[in-house]
Amino acid sequence: MSTNGEYALETNNLNVYYGDFQAVSDVSLRFHKQAITALIGPSGCGKSTALRSFNRMNDLVDIARVEGEVLFRGRNIYHPQVDPVEIRRRIGMVFQKPNPFPKSIYDNVAWGARINGYKGSMDELVEQSLRQAALWDEVKDKLQQSGLSLSGGQQQRLCIARAIAVKPEIILMDEPASALDPIATLRIEELIQELKKNYTIIIVTHNMQQAARSSDYTAFFTVNEDRAGYLVEYDETGKLFTNPKHELTEQYITGRFG
């Protein structure tokens, strides 16, 4: 199978283990380019673990082990010759809690590009990234202030700007709005809609309404008897939330299970 076509990322029989414990079982998924895919499911269903395996974030956990394939541009990102740092540049990640560096707003955005030895105009890159993250107008007059001086919602958009600045193709988001108030949450959702014009977005969310509101595709995960997470159903979001094919999905999204 090849991803050199319509898919931005493809997993084949993905299994993730923490030591003896299997956290993700046999997940095969195809993520559409320039679309938003939401991963939903009850706590412990492996959705965040799966997400972290999409850019080798699990490498940072000693006992984590991955089997199966994650194909990016037709190549398994777990191939020994693949550089995980390069993968993480191409496939960025935004976390649940905003985690700006204790540095200026400007330096937060410029950070990744500097490490990569970016040759162009840094001012332009910073402005462009902040504009794409819908934060520019709010911070353009205080770029030298600490990133930590911003509100929670602004900090999260700063983290998104930081992720964008290294020109990734895919942005992974692990509950990016769960620590934010409703208004800030809606701003992030709106921003994600803008971002999909240029990026492929894969988002883990506990908030079903958020998945329904803001994604194009939804993958529903749940846990099997051995507490390993697996994929139950994957479909267009509109279909999955109005007429799911699988009884487990129906029970979960109507709130009668989980």
Partner 1 sequence: MPRELLDKQLLGLHDRLLALGSEVQENLGVAAKSLTQRDMVAAHNIIVGDDWINEKWITIMHDCLRLIATQQPMASDMRFVTMVMQIAGELERINDYAKGIARITELLGKETAVPPTPQLPQMAELAQAMLRDALLAFSRRDDVAARQVPKRDDAVDALFNQVYRELLVWASEDPERWQVANYLEWAAHNLERAADRVSNICEWVVYTVTGKYKELS
Strand partners, 203: 38, 173
The CB-of-148 to partner 1 minimum distance in angstroms stands at: 35
Q: Smallest distance from the beta carbon of 238 to partner 1, in angstroms?
A: 11
Q: Cβ of residue 212: shortest distance to partner 1, in angstroms?
A: 7
- Of 135, 225, 241, 248, the one binding partner 1 by CB under 8 A: 241
Q: Backbone dihedral region of 48: left (phi > 0), alpha (psi from -120 to 50 degrees) or beta?
A: alpha
Q: Could you tell me the smallest distance in angstroms from the CB atom of residue 218 to partner 1?
A: 11
Q: Return d(Cα 75, Cα 122) in angstroms, integer.
A: 31
* The binder of partner 1 chosen from 125, 202, 208, 228 (CB under 8 A): 208
The C-alpha atoms of residue 16 and residue 187 are separated, in whole angstroms, by 33
**Smallest distance, Å, CB 185 to partner 1?**
15
Q: Is 250 in the site for partner 1 (CB under 8 A)?
A: yes
Regarding 43 and contact with partner 1 (CB under 8 A), the answer is no
Selected binder of partner 1 within 7, 123, 243, 248 (CB under 8 A): 243
Residue in 51, 126, 212, 232 binding partner 1, rule: CB under 8 A = 212
Q: Is 154 exposed, middle or buried (0-12, 13-18, 19+ CB in 10 A)?
A: buried
One residue of 9, 35, 45, 253 binding partner 1 per CB under 8 A: 253
Q: Smallest Cα–Cα separation from 204: which of 31, 47, 16, 27?
A: 47
- Between residues 99 and 242, which has the closer beta carbon with respect to partner 1? 242
Residues in the chain: 258
| CB nearer to partner 1: pick between 97 and 213 | 213
Q: Going residue by residue from 83 to 122, which x/- string records binding to partner 1, judged by CB under 8 A?
A: ----------------------------------------
Q: Does 242 bind partner 1 (CB under 8 A)?
A: yes
Nearer to partner 1, 53 or 210 (CB): 210
Q: DSSP letter string over 75-132?
A: EETTSTTS-HHHHHHHEEEE-SS----SSBHHHHHHHHHHHTT--S-HHHHHHHHHHH
Instruction: Say whether residue 223 binds partner 1 (CB under 8 A).
Output: no
Distance CA 169, CA 113 (A): 15
**Cα angle: 184, vertex 177, 110; to 5 degrees:** 85
Binding of residue 255 to partner 1 (CB under 8 A): yes
48-58 burial code (b ≥16 CB/10 A, e <16): bbbbbbbbbbb
In this structure, are residues 47 and 39 in contact, taking their beta carbons and an 8 Å threshold? Answer: yes
**Count of residues that interact with partner 1, criterion CB under 8 A:** 13
H or E, element range at 9: strand 7-18
Least Cβ distance, residue 178 to partner 1 (angstroms): 17
What is the binding site for partner 1 (CB under 8 A)? 208-209, 212, 241-244, 249-250, 253-256
